[in-house]
Amino acid sequence: MMYDPQPTASHYVNGAYLEDTSGTPIPVIYPATGEVIATVYAATPAVIDAALAAAEAAQKLWAKVSPRERGRVLTRAAQIMRERNHDLSVLETRDTGKPLQETLVADATSGADALEYFGGIAAGLTGEHIPLGEDWVYTIREALGVCVGIGAWNYPTQIACWKGAPALACGNAMVFKPSETTPLCALKIAEILTEAGAPAGLFNVVQGMGEVGSALVTDPRVAKVSLTGSVPTGRKVYAAAAEQMKHVTMELGGKSPLVIFDDADLDNAVSGAINGNFYSSGQVCSNGTRVFVQKGIKEAFLARLAERLKNAVIGDPLDEATSFGPMVSERQMQIVQGYINKGRAEGARLISGGGRVERDGFFLEPTVFADVTDDMTIAREEIFGPVMAVLDFDTEAEAIARANATEFGLSAGVFTRDLSRAHRVIGQLRAGSCFINSYNDAPVEAPFGGVKASGVGRENSKAALDHWSQLKSVYVRMGDVEAAF
Ligand code: NDP
């Protein structure tokens, strides 16, 4: 079975597809050709209301389901996702343009990992007993209530599951709004959760642009908002949530440093830089886009990198041999082209790429600039495309200071054969998700998230549970109550 990219309806509310064609039409474009493959409609206020009402009703029941049973629903959903990995991956490729070679291993599989992990951990969610001599306190880990998830367009399936799985494991219900650019796969997650036994209304999907997100964030029925998006959107959503004192998780952008020392294994360092800049055509928040290379290894690094880039297979993303696909949209391609032009204009040395690929769709070449300096635009702003900036450095202290001179703090990496230096340097880099002699691994077992402007809260791992639940503490007095009068 192959999924029809045109979904049954635009939204998934209360356990079923729901259509309302009076909303703004949203064309879904296959980035590799520019053709419209489906149309969905933005949620109207009536659809948003129906989704929140369904979530509110479902959450009340779900919070009473035993955690082990909740976990069983999630692990069943994980199993269904794995069985349908190929079809889900093809749909993700059509929605995002990312090569099937990637989506087969990094999207539905990562989503299934999250469902499996949080499904497994659900039964272990307990409170504490705190002895105080005769009296005692116990704590109850409670659900927050109705939670809103808002996703970016680079990892639609993964984002829906990274938010949905821990939320549901903790007893919450969710209304999820995918990016308008990639609305298709979250609907499949909702369908699969229903099939796995989730009650109607537990996981709802509504489509729309920023206004729909904003309507969800400001609704008083919502207890928490988890956003994956850019820093400017994060600021707006965080502020709106603060107005009603809602919980938030903000997974935002970055301009992460990857520091390569003279003694690094050259091919491993080049592989790390490729993974940290060109996977998903560079549309990854944690990418190490400021590649600091120590002067002694610089020319060898650039030469080997240029050689390795020739092996990129740019083409039809649905062909499993393709390893590099298009930008998600024409608009994103233009934004990235703007940065490439700035790189040239500000005097960076173009080592490879720099142009569009001669074919339909929104393809850009993998692009590398060398001799980049800290003040250049391409070294300061998040590009979210296949543009690597290589900067030189002399000393460890200099590399650390320059790597930290940014408003962002999502990720950081270091390549060196000197293990004490590796730990010393990583210990001083101000970032949430770090790597030693590797880059961009994101197993569900590890906390993921940023510091500084890159966000608050953590996704994945046991740490995520604290962001999807709250503690009630109960003081129990065993004797008489003393009072002043
Ligand atoms: P945006 O910030 O533009 O959008 C993110 C989501 O928020 C979209 O669904 C968007 O809707 C919605 N939105 C926009 N305005 C509002 C608002 N006022 N209230 C509520 N919701 C709103 O990001 P992109 O989709 O362009 O994604 C790219 C960005 O995401 C990059 O900066 C990247 O770094 C970041 N990112 C971070 C990750 C992380 O985990 N740290 C992972 C992946 C990406 P719509 O776009 O449909 O209008």
Contacts of 113 (CB under 8 A, 6+ apart): 78, 443, 444
Among protein residues, the one with the nearest Cα to ligand 1's atom 40 is 251
The total of other beta-carbon atoms located within 10 Å of residue 480's CB is 6
How remote is the CA of residue 231 from the centroid of ligand 1, in Å? 8
- As a residue count, the chain comes to 485
How remote is the CA of residue 212 from the centroid of ligand 1, in Å? 13
Among protein residues, the one with the nearest Cα to ligand 1's atom 48 is 209
For a pocket test of ligand 1, which of 107, 227, 228 has the largest count of ligand atoms closer than 8 A to its C-beta? 228
CA 410 to chain CA mean position, Å: 11
Among protein residues, the one with the nearest Cα to ligand 1's atom 9 is 179
Nearest atom within ligand 1 for CA of residue 152: 25
The token duo for 103 is 């989506």
pLDDT digits (tens, 9 = 90+) for 371-383: 999 999 999 999 9
What is the average pLDDT score of the chain? Answer: 98
Bridge partners (DSSP) of residue 224 are 147, 247
| Rounded-to-integer distance, Cα 417 and Cα 265, Å | 7
For a pocket test of ligand 1, which of 233, 251, 383 has the largest count of ligand atoms closer than 8 A to its C-beta? 233
Residues classed as catalytic: 163, 251, 285, 459
How remote is the CA of residue 267 from the centroid of ligand 1, in Å? 34
Among protein residues, the one with the nearest Cα to ligand 1's atom 32 is 230
More confident residue, 2 or 433: 433
How remote is the CA of residue 399 from the centroid of ligand 1, in Å? 30
Among protein residues, the one with the nearest Cα to ligand 1's atom 1 is 229
Q: What is the pLDDT of residue 368?
A: 98
- Read off the pLDDT band of 360 (50, 70, 90): very high
Q: What is the pLDDT of residue 51?
A: 99
Q: What is the pLDDT of residue 2?
A: 85
pLDDT digits (tens, 9 = 90+) for 62-71: 999 999 999 9
Task: State the SS3 of 325-382.
Answer: CCCCCHHHHHHHHHHHHHHHHCCCEEEECCCECCCCCCCECCEEEECCCCCCHHHHCC
Using CB atoms within 10 A of its CB, is residue 265 exposed (0-12), middle (13-18) or buried (19+)? Answer: middle
Q: What is the pTM of this model?
A: 0.97
pLDDT digits (tens, 9 = 90+) for 78-122: 999 999 999 999 999 999 999 999 999 999 999 999 999 999 999
* CA contacts within 13 A on the Cβ side of 323: 10
Bridge partners (DSSP) of residue 147 are 174, 224
Q: What Rg do the C-alpha atoms of the chain give, in angstroms?
A: 23
| Rounded-to-integer distance, Cα 271 and Cα 130, Å | 50
Q: Are strands 257-260 and 247-251 parallel, antiparallel or unpaired?
A: unpaired
pLDDT digits (tens, 9 = 90+) for 161-199: 999 999 999 999 999 999 999 999 999 999 999 999 999
pLDDT digits (tens, 9 = 90+) for 248-272: 999 999 999 999 999 999 999 999 9
Nearest atom within ligand 1 for CA of residue 450: 41
Bridge partners (DSSP) of residue 467 are none
Nearest atom within ligand 1 for CA of residue 180: 47
Q: Ligand 1: residues within 6 Å at CB?
A: 150-154, 177, 179-180, 209-210, 213-214, 217, 227-230, 233, 236-237, 251-253, 285, 382, 384, 410, 450, 455
> Position 299: which residue type?
E
Q: What is the pLDDT of residue 353?
A: 97
> Position 179: which residue type?
S
> Position 448: which residue type?
F
Using CB atoms within 10 A of its CB, is residue 57 exposed (0-12), middle (13-18) or buried (19+)? Answer: middle
Q: Is the pLDDT of residue 1 over 90?
A: no
pLDDT digits (tens, 9 = 90+) for 293-322: 999 999 999 999 999 999 999 999 999 999
Cβ-count burial 325-348 (b if 16+ within 10 Å, e if not): bbbbbeebbeebbebbeebeeeeb
The token duo for 304 is 């080997």
How remote is the CA of residue 43 from the centroid of ligand 1, in Å? 17
pLDDT digits (tens, 9 = 90+) for 143-163: 999 999 999 999 999 999 999
How remote is the CA of residue 269 from the centroid of ligand 1, in Å? 30
Q: What is the pLDDT of residue 456?
A: 98
Q: What is the pLDDT of residue 287?
A: 98
